[in-house]
Amino acid sequence: MESLNALIQGMGLMHLGIGQAIMLLVSLLLLWLAIAKKFEPLLLLPIGFGGLLSNIPEAGMALTALESLLAHHDAGQLAVIAAKLNCTPDVHA
């Protein structure tokens, strides 16, 4: 039971937002149209696959560079940005 709980928490489903869920459904719809219905497969297949990859929960692919830096708490990079902004870095926030 403990390993099943770890598997569910490791999949990232707990971090899935409503926006990501909708975009995953749209991506799956695009893939279905491209593969099953043969509707513009050269266009819809890469768009659907990219939509799936970019909306994986907790992958961080939808973050900007600054959001990614703040999420991973890289103290060295935060100090560089703080020096350019002439302020002190708050790494404990």
Summarised one tens digit per residue, pLDDT across range 41-77 is 999 999 999 999 888 877 666 667 777 777 777 778 8
DSSP string, the chain: -HHHHHHHHHTTGGG--HHHHHHHHHHHHHHHHHHTS-SSHHHHHHHHHHHHHHT-TT--TTS-HHHHHHHHT-HHHHHHHHHHTTS---TT-
Look at residue 56 in the predicted model and tell me its pLDDT.
81
Contact 57, 20 (CB under 8 A): yes
Tens-digit pLDDT profile for residues 4-32: 888 777 777 777 889 889 999 999 999 99
pTM of the predicted model, to two decimals?
A: 0.60
